Amino acid sequence: MKQFSTPRRARQAGFTLIELALVLAVIGLIIGAIAIGKDVQRNAEYTKISNKFLEQWKMAYDQYYQRTGTVVGDCQQAPTYMVNGAETSIGGSGACVRPGGQGVAGIAPSFANTGRKVCSGQGYAAGQTGGGDVNLATQNLRNLMTQHGVRMPPGRGEGHEDRYVYQDTNGNASEVQVCFQWNPAGTTSGAGNVMVVRGLTPDLARYLDQVIDGKPDSREGRFRIQGRAAHTQATQANAPGTAWEANNTVAANIAGDGHSGQDGTAIGADNPGGATATGRQYDEDRVTLLTAHWVMDQ
């Protein structure tokens, strides 16, 4: 008797839809984890800059005041209460000399040669990280701190305590630099003695402003952008503040006086030294850099 065998079903090749869906889901989770990991790493770096660098420099500034009774670079025998006061003059004589101040009131408007920033070297060229840079003082920040036994943050290393290197969002190296200066009354970025923080990306500036002020507003509070034009119109007296307008390559209206609600999309480079003139946004471009003023307590 002839037997008939049942033909075997051909083995199935390829993947089922369920298997493909699972693979795609796993790939999506991996990509998402990588993206989240980058954000976590960046936020951790911003926190380090805030806590271990800028906050430590504020503590160093306060410690200098406690040790000397004056702010950075001021006269101990005849204080002006202005940063770099020792290089100013009053009544035609040096600020530290008694006869020069006897004929006029010892208030800021009576002094000359004020407002120079005390740094440890020039660092960024003038205007490279936004407008509004003032002249460099003769006194050296590191020397002043060292002479009075004030411990500085580690920064980049020995001799570079005023600098901190980090990566912008495109992976390019950027450097935060700390200086101190005195701003006259009416300065939009804050009157009095301020810490000048140069080399901030817009994202980092917003983060620091949020930590210091509780709101990322570039015109109000104790942490403001340098070089912002003042509100001069009567209708602007109680106008809203201004955002840190910038994207990865273009700083929009950094030198203007517009409100955040009126500013358009970043379409031109107000800061050609730190951004491309055409406003292109390639991943390899350097992120535009800004300068901020943090108003000190002393």
Mean pLDDT of 159-168: 92
The H or E element containing residue 206 is helix 202-213
Domain ranges of the chain: 20-68+115-231+240-295
**CB distance 222 to 295 below 8 Å:** yes
Mean pLDDT of 89-110: 83
* 139/57 Cα distance (integer angstroms): 17
User: What's the predicted TM-score (pTM) here?
Assistant: 0.81
**CB distance 63 to 40 below 8 Å:** no
Mean pLDDT of 71-89: 93
Q: Which two tokens stand for residue 5?
A: 């065998």
**Mean of the per-residue pLDDT values of the chain:** 81
Q: How confident is the model at residue 262 (pLDDT cuts 50, 70, 90)?
A: very low
Please tell me which residue, 56 or 247, carries the higher pLDDT value.
Answer: 56
Residue 264 has pLDDT above 50, yes or no: no
DSSP letter for 124, please: S
Report the pLDDT value the prediction gives residue 7, as an integer from 0 to 100: 57
Please tell me which residue, 85 or 255, carries the higher pLDDT value.
Answer: 85
pLDDT tens-place string over residues 202-225 = 889 999 999 998 888 888 889 999
Q: How confident is the model at residue 263 (pLDDT cuts 50, 70, 90)?
A: very low
Q: How confident is the model at residue 260 (pLDDT cuts 50, 70, 90)?
A: very low
Residue 62 has pLDDT above 90, yes or no: yes
Amino acid, single-letter form, for residue 50: S
Residue 73 has pLDDT above 80, yes or no: yes
Residue 266 has pLDDT above 60, yes or no: no
* 253/271 Cα distance (integer angstroms): 10
